[in-house]
Amino acid sequence: MKFIVSRDVLYRNLSAISGVMSTNASMAILDNVLMTIAGTQLKLTASDAESTMTAVIELTDVEGEGSVAVPAKILIETLKLIPETPINFFINEEARTVNFKAANGDYDAPCFPGDEYPQINEIENPNSFDIEASILQRAISKTMFAAGTDELRPNMMGVLCELSSECITFVATDAHKLVRYRNTKVTADDFTSLILPKKPIAHLKNILSGVNGDVHVEYSKQTNHIRFSFDNLVLFSVLKEGKYPNYEAVIPKDNPKSLLVSRDEFLKSIRRVGIYSNQSTFQVRVSLSEEMTSITAEDMDYSNKAVENIAGEYTGEAMEIGFNSKFLREMLENMDSDQIKLEMSQPNHAALIVPTEEFSDTESLLMLIMPVMLNY
């Protein structure tokens, strides 16, 4: 096989798909990128066995057809250091070698038979919907950080996606914090619930930041697979199995106490005071009254203590509540609103954090954080 391809086009597409690859591949062949020539198209495939991503490049100068697996690391690192230029590829399938020439360089590497590379399972009779790339990217970025990491709860190690006649909902929780994102621009006639695995959607989030238009999503509950298609790229992945926790049941409905505060000032104070907290609990105490709001952290083992007063409008009876400053900081960092409202009921009940200004008329964001028991 012979073909000529632009260095920039090849490098951009290889960089896009290689994010699904694993540093500890379950099979040696998965350290390679599959190159397939069919007609005038070059199809690139990268996989970690559970997730697979492909990119299709149109060629104008090509001879022959077939597929080979080429070492991904050596190819990408070489292309990274080559300026934009046409690159001439010659693949000898019998000798299992790939040669490519670029400008003044001539490079050789081994390659392997393409039929040894794992094949993507087709999704038969899939359900589908379309979603704007910007909405999908935002939904993932607003929720994914709250997904669990406990392997004993694998169903919580992903992001829940629910599609209904009213909206699309994304939820992530690790039992200490929970985030729910909703957007009414995407709906479906029938309700469905999918648990998206964290690694492939994290990669998807990064790629979608530069994509315009819609993402076509196909899924099958029977085969437990999902496929995202946009531009010349396709991401195929296994869905998480299991039943997601009933997140609506843990969201408190009656929260008579509330603090209206600048998100930026609250975040900066939590960052500073959190430095003085115990580094195993990260506990901060938030003391609330109509006269004053103060944030305190103390690590008695090292005689560290910090107290800050912040401006805010508090409504309700005076109360003290404890939070993990690390979790609270993460949540505030993932909000856009200039002001946020902290809604509470009791020191031992979950607190809600909501933006006072929504990013758009069609979306809503809610974050929940569990309190910690005050020990000083």
CB 134 within 8 A of CB 359: no
Closest CA to 294 of 329, 263, 269: 269
Q: Quick one: what percent of the chain has pLDDT higher than 90?
A: 91
The stretches of 284-337 forming alpha helices (DSSP H) are 325-333
What is the per-residue pLDDT for 58? 97
> With 70 as the cut, is the pLDDT of residue 301 above it?
yes
Q: In the predicted model, what is the mean pLDDT of residues 79-105?
A: 94
CA-to-CA distance for 332 and 272, rounded, in angstroms? Answer: 14
What is the per-residue pLDDT for 107? 97
Q: Quick one: what percent of the chain has pLDDT higher than 70?
A: 100
Nearby residues of 318 by Cβ (< 8 Å), 6 or more positions away = 287, 288, 289, 290
What is the per-residue pLDDT for 376? 62
| Other residues' Cβ atoms within 10 Å of the Cβ of residue 309 | 11
CA-to-CA distance for 44 and 358, rounded, in angstroms? Answer: 40
CB 156 within 8 A of CB 175: yes
Q: In the predicted model, what is the mean pLDDT of residues 274-289?
A: 96
What is the per-residue pLDDT for 199? 94
> With 90 as the cut, is the pLDDT of residue 258 above it?
yes
CB 215 within 8 A of CB 208: yes
Q: How far does CA 154 lie from the centroid of its chain? A: 16
What's the mean pLDDT when you consider all of the chain?
A: 95
Instruction: State pLDDT tens for residues 172-209.
Output: 999 999 999 999 999 999 999 999 999 999 999 999 98
CA-to-CA distance for 207 and 231, rounded, in angstroms? Answer: 11
What is the per-residue pLDDT for 24? 85
**Ordered structural domains, the chain, with CATH:** 2-116 (3.10.150.10), 127-245 (3.10.150.10), 251-369 (3.10.150.10)
> With 80 as the cut, is the pLDDT of residue 270 above it?
yes
CA-to-CA distance for 69 and 77, rounded, in angstroms? Answer: 16
Q: In the predicted model, what is the mean pLDDT of residues 327-335?
A: 97
Give the pLDDT band (50/70/90) at residue 26: confident
Q: In the predicted model, what is the mean pLDDT of residues 130-144?
A: 97
CA-to-CA distance for 121 and 201, rounded, in angstroms? Answer: 19
Torsion of CA 318, 323, 329, 335, to 10 degrees: -60
Q: In the predicted model, what is the mean pLDDT of residues 244-257?
A: 96
CB 22 within 8 A of CB 102: no
What is the per-residue pLDDT for 211? 93
Q: In the predicted model, what is the mean pLDDT of residues 235-260?
A: 96
| Other residues' Cβ atoms within 10 Å of the Cβ of residue 199 | 16
Give the pLDDT band (50/70/90) at residue 163: very high
Residue 76 phi/psi, 5° resolution? -65, -40
C-alpha separations of 365 from 15, 255, 334 in Å: 32, 17, 10
What is the per-residue pLDDT for 25? 82
